[in-house]
A = this chain, B = another copy of it.
């Protein structure tokens, strides 16, 4: 009911909240290459200076599913530098750690390992960018976890049914039940929620005495009917949801009117798309929890490259621009230049004085040229800003929307724009490319055994996750499946008949897309299980890259909203198994045998991130696909 005292005391948890750090994003860009590493260090520095109890990350610590050596190296360096040391940890873990960290080879929290001197434990779920993939079903976070520098939690053991066991933490008289759910394709998770297959387990003892904190990495804004997770799906016994994945900073806890829990959306710590949501100032949070009260303190990040965005609608300036004037293009160009200069002045003023903040800002001027105007040469315009702007090549974005049908006015609140520019943020999906190829290709290169759908997904996996075996596995599986079918039909006789049967088989599968969904998933699972006995799944991708171009609410300017916590209605209440509130003992030092709770027999969920492959890197020729980054 009342604001808690932010002053440190032995009953107050101090937790640093951040998400979507995207280490390695644009790491090869000569200007922006170091941005993510610099800001990660700033975040950990805040954790250290604020003497937090732990750091909680909401996924996408890494931008690439298979981070480069440099990215991995930098990340390990930062964690070792900031998170090791002599400061004692002041909270304990009451839950069964073998359950909480069941996927790890060292299934206990790092700070209780006698061989590691951890000063700041980091807890993280995985995002869609750094989710577990491959026959080994490992993700990049597992490397950090195996090195003892991070605690990866929130992995689900099944893909059909999810039981979330919380990590139970206690500091003095405050008890936190920390629930985590690593990224899962939204459509699948949506279905699981609808089918009541998601259960949040609750401790048996003193059920109401816990502060229930849930960290999740999914679409929060609606992308299609089932391609996001509505807040009302979540249990209302939760007190605070930390929502990762969405890049716009809305970190101040926002109360869900129906369910009364609060949602904090920290947003990314780096701008990964030149969209309005990313222009909102970046923050991380210092969350105080005492008893069942909480306070979220916003911390402005000082090393984030500033991003400035403006829109011009040429038709709004009949006094300045006349489409019939032969010199109108020069006039527009001069006007834009003036605008950019003003934005650059503004950017300079807004710099925070942190010597680590990059100098060159990101600038985006969107020009609506509807009304008979022509776009000017962007290339030449860009040249002028090579030395002053971090993104010279895409400063200007031309679009026309006046002609477009206006809809969903209520969803939009950014500048003068009333609908999302059509082309911006569109990414090419390899899956679609493959489909298109086979649809337009001549008969002779058409697939006869494989399905375009399965092929598309496998190629997507190949490109997106650098999953080199995906295609081979799919081919093997679909071949075997066809062979089984033929065997059942006993058509091992004449060749013509076989062709006929194969055609039939293919036709029968085309009709049933749901079945094929299952099949493709099974293909990946089986082919891998074959090798490693570690079934993993494949599912359809979501259009996550589009997310950031959507116009969303920016009503998050309130600072440190104090909030009181209530118990909610509680649907899908848990059965509290595996979370029995038993005391943990500090795990000893050396000579610990490897337990049998290895990963080898476990299953995992696998998700896809959407593909944004530049078209030039994908060429289709001679009936073979070749994906090369040559020349």
A interface residue numbers (CB < 8 A to B): 28, 30, 33, 66, 68-70, 72-73, 76-77, 80-81, 84-87, 105-106, 114-119, 134-136, 138-140, 142-143, 146-149, 462, 468-469, 471-472, 475, 530-531, 589-592, 594, 619, 621-622, 624-631
8 Å CB contact of A146 from B77, B85, B87, B625: B77
Q: Which residue of B lies closest to A71 (CB)?
A: B136
Of the candidates A80, A469, A530, the one having the most CB atoms from chain B within 10 angstroms of its own CB is: A80
Complex A-B: 13 CB contacts under 8 Å: A28-B135, A30-B530, A72-B143, A73-B136, A73-B146, A77-B106, A85-B590, A116-B116, A119-B590, A147-B148, A147-B149, A471-B630, A472-B629
The reply to whether B73 and A142 form a contact with Cβ atoms under 8 Å apart is: yes
Q: Which residue of B lies closest to A70 (CB)?
A: B136
| Chain B residues with CB below 8 A from A86, complex form | 114, 589-590
A531 → chain B closest CB, angstroms: 5
Question: In the bound complex, what is the Cα–Cα distance between A87 and B590 (angstroms)?
Answer: 9
The reply to whether A117 and B73 form a contact with Cβ atoms under 8 Å apart is: no
| Chain B residues with CB below 8 A from A628, complex form | 624-628
| Chain B residues with CB below 8 A from A116, complex form | 84, 115-117
A38 → chain B closest CB, angstroms: 13
Contact residues of A: prevailing secondary structure: loop
Question: In the bound complex, what is the Cα–Cα distance between A386 and B622 (angstroms)?
Answer: 35
Decide: A469 near B28, CB < 8 A? Known: A69-B66, A140-B69. Answer: yes
Question: In the bound complex, what is the Cα–Cα distance between A405 and B564 (angstroms)?
Answer: 91
A48 → chain B closest CB, angstroms: 8
| Chain B residues with CB below 8 A from A142, complex form | 69, 73
A119 → chain B closest CB, angstroms: 6
Question: In the bound complex, what is the Cα–Cα distance between A4 and B50 (angstroms)?
Answer: 57
| Chain B residues with CB below 8 A from A624, complex form | 619, 628, 630-631
| Chain B residues with CB below 8 A from A68, complex form | 136
Q: Which residue of B lies closest to A33 (CB)?
A: B531
A-B contacts besides A115-B116, A471-B629, 17 pairs, CB < 8 Å: A30-B530, A69-B134, A69-B136, A72-B143, A73-B142, A73-B143, A77-B105, A81-B592, A85-B115, A85-B589, A87-B590, A119-B590, A475-B631, A619-B626, A626-B626, A627-B630, A628-B628
Decide: A147 near B80, CB < 8 A? Known: A86-B589, A626-B630. Answer: yes
| Chain B residues with CB below 8 A from A81, complex form | 592, 594
Q: Which residue of B lies closest to A106 (CB)?
A: B80
Question: In the bound complex, what is the Cα–Cα distance between A626 and B628 (angstroms)?
Answer: 6
Question: In the bound complex, what is the Cα–Cα distance between A472 and B28 (angstroms)?
Answer: 13
